[in-house]
């Protein structure tokens, strides 16, 4: 420990020498001055642990000096002994009221001085240790703040709901200045719906909060609250991690895994498409050859059969593409209530991996009734596709897969995928849902982990049982979607006349061959075809706008889209807008999806069934 510093303040040089000698014998580092003003100047540069102060000094008195010292930020540190010749009964009270530690009367008794100085030394040593501890604490707090300020995660410290510290990561995360956060109420940074959670945050346990960005958007965070002393007072530190970014990363991982799953099936899908494509093209070519010869009844029957087979091939390819579309819908493109048809998603998943399954074994379907569930069909399809592909690979050239759906006693949907394959080793069962765990030579280890996360996020459970050599069973259990009121019936255009032989039809599609084929299919009606959205707006909103029964309009077109056409017509003639039926190949984003839902107009999926198109046109003609 460093030598204790002492300062003697007395206008008597002989008293200063006496006190200096006594203090040096006790190993103090001693300095002395003759006035209070000199003492203050000296203490500003060299603080002391012990002060011996004469009451009566020229200029400022010893008691005034004592009061000034005690009023300083570190004024409680030094031990102050007031030395004076005054002996009135109230003098001790005045000394203590000024903040002095003790009182020493003149003339000074050497033995009494020794005792008082020993006591003062012990106090001074404690004071020195306290000062050292305070310095160490301040340095530790400075180091802590530097460390926290440089941390990549957002950290905030509050005291009784008032923010007293925010690191740079938090300020960047919320795009706020220090002065707009420090000193503010914590509740002002949190979404009002989450204010109730602020008093319930479990210490050292993760919770989720939604914070308000400066631009008004909401950022979701994972937060842990830790009780601590900060700057000497009880406080709570909130350690926050951005879940918005993490969820975006998880979404990208899921999308990557979904694409990887579909990529694994690419060869099988190509095989499934190429087979019908081969006989579609072959039959069309043969039909052309037959039609170039002299027509006979036999040749016409042959052409009809060939075209029937070509149509069947086209329908088969359409179904494959529709099944594949289940995997292309992004989570962020689906808004509002969701109610996935589990059996429909299962059928699509089975179709997509059917080529992989049929070369490994057989598949048995046992579909019982199940309720719709609150999850996007693309995510559910990703789960089923993974489970089915894993089951097919486990068969290793022979065995059976059983897919079962049912509703349990609590009304939850159960989907079971069971195989009679090689099974999973007992030591691996505890890890199969862990990310990056895989026993496959080319596996990423993400498939089952992502399936598990998808099912948990939907409020469900994914369980597995397996016996080596006998097979595995995976069970998905999901809560039913909330029952919601039925969507109101779509308002239809007012009736025009009872019957007529020809409907007036406008086809708007940038694909020339689509327009041409629809015109041929509807040749008994009056059909006009336009290939540009701008031309359609001019035709439908001009002074000589046609009177139409139905408008078949493509959604996605270059330049002016079908959405733009519909909005222009709706503003010009709302009754005519009720004659729109949209056509789509399915490749549109969230904006188009929201538009179609809001417009409540019928939608025809390409490739369409000609019989369905003709019935729709005739129905609109009767309205």
DSSP character for 109?
P
Rg (CA), the chain: 43
Distance CA 98, CA 100 (A): 6
Strand, coil or helix: 296: coil
Asked if the model's pLDDT at residue 282 lies above 80, the reply is no
Stronger pLDDT, 128 or 118, i.e. the higher one: 118
**65-75: buried (b, 16+ CB within 10 Å) or exposed (e) per residue?**
bbbbbeeeeee
Secondary structure (3-state) at 157 = strand
Q: How confident is the model at residue 141 (pLDDT cuts 50, 70, 90)?
A: confident
Least confident of 386-395, 487-496, 563-572, 593-602: 487-496
Q: What is the mean pLDDT of residues 395-412?
A: 90
Q: How far apart are CA 501 and CA 503, in angstroms?
A: 7
**Residue tagged 């029957």 (tokens):** 301
Q: What is the pLDDT of residue 489?
A: 38
CA distances from 255 to 81, 201, 248, 354, 590 (A): 78, 33, 10, 22, 16
pLDDT the model gives residue 274: 63
Model confidence band, residue 340 (pLDDT cutoffs 50, 70, 90): confident
pLDDT in tens, 85-99: 777 778 888 888 888
At 333, list the tokens. 């493109």
Digit-coded pLDDT (tens) for 514-565: 888 888 888 889 999 999 999 999 999 988 778 899 999 998 888 898 999 9
Burial code (b: 16+ CB inside 10 Å, e: under 16) for 400-438 equals bbbbbbeeeeeebbbbbbbbbbbbbeeeeeebbbeeeeb
| Residue 494 clears pLDDT 50, i.e. is over it | no
Query: Where does the pLDDT of residue 326 fall: very low under 50, low under 70, confident under 90, or very high at 90 and above?
Result: low
pLDDT digits (tens, 9 = 90+) for 462-493: 999 999 989 999 999 999 987 544 433 334 44
Which of 120-134, 161-175, 262-276, 369-383 is predicted least confidently?
A: 262-276
CATH fold, domain 504-622, is Rossmann fold (3.40.50)
Lowest pLDDT segment from 34-38, 255-259, 312-316, 344-348 = 255-259
Place of tokens 């059983």: 402
Homologous superfamily (CATH) for 151-245: PAS domain (3.30.450.20)
- Report DSSP state, residue 182: T
CA dist., res. 216 & res. 191, Å (int)? 10
Q: Is the pLDDT of residue 200 over 90?
A: no
pLDDT at position 334? 47
3-class DSSP string for 321-382: HHHHHCCCCCHHHCCCCCCECHHHHHHHHHHHCHHHHHCCCEEEEEECCCCCECCCHHHHHH
Report which of residues 268 and 318 the model is more confident about. 318
| Helix (H), strand (E) counts: the chain | 21, 20
For residue 401, the model assigns a pLDDT of 94
Residue 579: Cβ within 10 Å count:
24
| Per-residue model confidence (pLDDT) at position 38 | 94
Q: How far, in Å, CA of 538 to CA of 564, rounded?
A: 12
Model pLDDT for residues 562-589, shown as the tens digit of each residue: 999 999 999 999 999 999 999 887 655 5
The domain 5-136 is classified under which CATH number: 3.30.530.20, 3.40.30.10, 3.10.110.10, 3.40.50.2300?
3.40.50.2300
Contacts of 437 (CB under 8 A, 6+ apart): 428, 431, 445, 449
Per domain, the residue ranges of the chain are: 5-136, 151-245, 338-478, 504-622
The model carries a pTM of 0.45
The C-alpha angle 103, 109, 114, rounded to 5 degrees, equals 75
Looking at residue 322, what is its pLDDT?
65
Task: Report the distance separating Cα 297 and Cα 214, nearest Å.
Answer: 78
**In this prediction, what percent of the chain has a pLDDT beyond 70?**
82
Q: What is the spatial distance between Cα 203 and Cα 189, in angstroms, rounded to a whole number?
A: 20
Same fold, 5-136 and 151-245: no
Angle between helices 562-572 and 533-541 (to 10 degrees): 10
| pLDDT value for 276 | 65
Percent pLDDT > 90 in the chain is 25
Looking at residue 493, what is its pLDDT? 45
**Whether 127 contacts 79, CB under 8 Å:** yes
Q: What is the pLDDT of residues 216-225, one digit of tens each?
A: 888 888 888 8
Q: Helix 447-457 vs helix 377-395: angle between axes, to the nearest 10 degrees?
A: 140
Task: Report d(CA 433, CA 455) in Å as an integer.
Answer: 12
Class (C level, CATH) for 338-478? alpha beta
| Mean of all residue pLDDT scores within the chain | 81
* Cα distance between residue 191 and residue 292, in whole Å: 74
**What DSSP element (H or E) covers 137?**
helix 110-149
């Amino acid at each position: 420990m460093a030598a204790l510093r002492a300062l003697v303040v007395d206008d008597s040089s002989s008293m200063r020498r006496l006190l200096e000698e006594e203090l040096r014998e006790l190993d103090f580092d001693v300095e002395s001055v003759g006035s209070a003003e000199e003492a203050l100047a000296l203490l500003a540069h060299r603080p002391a642990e012990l002060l011996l102060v004469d009451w009566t000094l020229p200029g400022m008195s010893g008691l005034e000096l004592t009061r000034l010292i005690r009023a300083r930020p570190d004024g409680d540190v030094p031990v102050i002994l007031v030395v004076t010749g005054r002996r009135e009964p109230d003098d001790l009270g005045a000394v203590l009221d000024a903040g002095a530690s003790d009182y020493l009367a003149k003339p000074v008794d050497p033995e009494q001085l020794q005792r008082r100085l020993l006591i003062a030394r012990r106090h001074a040593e404690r004071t020195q240790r306290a000062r050292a501890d305070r310095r160490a604490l301040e340095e530790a707090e400075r180091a802590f703040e530097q460390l926290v300020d440089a941390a990549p995660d957002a950290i905030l410290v509050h005291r009784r709901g008032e923010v007293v510290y925010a690191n740079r990561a938090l300020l960047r995360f919320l795009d706020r200045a220090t002065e707009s956060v420090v000193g503010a109420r914590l509740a002002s940074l949190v979404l009002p719906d989450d204010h109730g959670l602020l008093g319930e945050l479990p210490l050292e346990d993760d919770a989720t909060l939604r914070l308000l960005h400066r631009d008004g958007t909401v950022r979701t965070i994972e937060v842990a609250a830790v009780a601590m002393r900060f700057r000497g007072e009880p406080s709570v530190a909130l350690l926050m991690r951005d879940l918005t970014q993490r969820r975006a990363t998880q979404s990208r991982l899921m999308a990557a895994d979904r694409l990887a799953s579909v990529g694994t099936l690419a060869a099988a899908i190509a095989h499934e498409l190429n087979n019908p494509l081969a006989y579609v093209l072959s039959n069309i070519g043969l039909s052309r050859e037959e039609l170039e010869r002299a027509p006979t009844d036999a040749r016409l029957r042959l052409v009809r059969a060939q075209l029937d087979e070509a149509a069947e091939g086209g329908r088969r390819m359409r179904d494959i593409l529709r099944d594949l579309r289940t995997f292309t819908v992004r989570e962020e493109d689906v808004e509002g209530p969701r109610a996935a048809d589990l059996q429909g998603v299962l059928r699509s998943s089975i179709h997509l991996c059917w080529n992989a399954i049929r070369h490994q074994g057989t598949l048995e379907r046992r579909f019982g009734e199940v309720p719709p569930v609150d999850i996007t069909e693309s995510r559910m399809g990703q789960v089923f596709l993974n489970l089915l592909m894993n089951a097919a690979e486990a068969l290793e050239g022979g065995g059976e897969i059983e897919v079962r759906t049912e509703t349990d006693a609590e009304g939850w949907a159960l989907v079971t995928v069971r195989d009679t394959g090689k099974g999973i080793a007992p030591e691996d069962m505890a890890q199969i849902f862990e990310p990056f765990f895989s026993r496959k030579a080319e596996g990423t280890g993400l498939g089952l982990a992502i399936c598990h996360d998808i099912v948990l996020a939907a409020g469900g459970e994914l369980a597995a049982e397996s016996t080596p050599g006998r097979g595995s069973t995976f069970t998905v259990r999901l809560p039913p979607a909330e029952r919601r009121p039925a969507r109101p019936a779509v308002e239809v255009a007012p009736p025009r006349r009872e019957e007529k032989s020809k409907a007036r039809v406008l086809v708007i599609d940038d694909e020339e061959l689509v327009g041409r084929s629809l015109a041929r299919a509807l040749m008994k009606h009056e059909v006009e075809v336009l290939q540009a959205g701008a031309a359609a707006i001019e035709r439908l909103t001009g002074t000589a706008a046609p009177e139409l029964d139905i408008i078949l309009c493509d959604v996605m077109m270059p330049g002016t889209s079908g959405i733009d056409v519909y909005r222009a017509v709706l503003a010009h003639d709302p009754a005519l807008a009720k004659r729109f039926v949209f056509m789509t190949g399915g490749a549109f984003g969230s904006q188009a999806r929201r538009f179609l839902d809001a417009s409540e107009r019928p939608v025809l999926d390409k490739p369409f069934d000609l019989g369905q198109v003709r019935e729709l046109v005739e129905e609109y003609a009767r309205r």
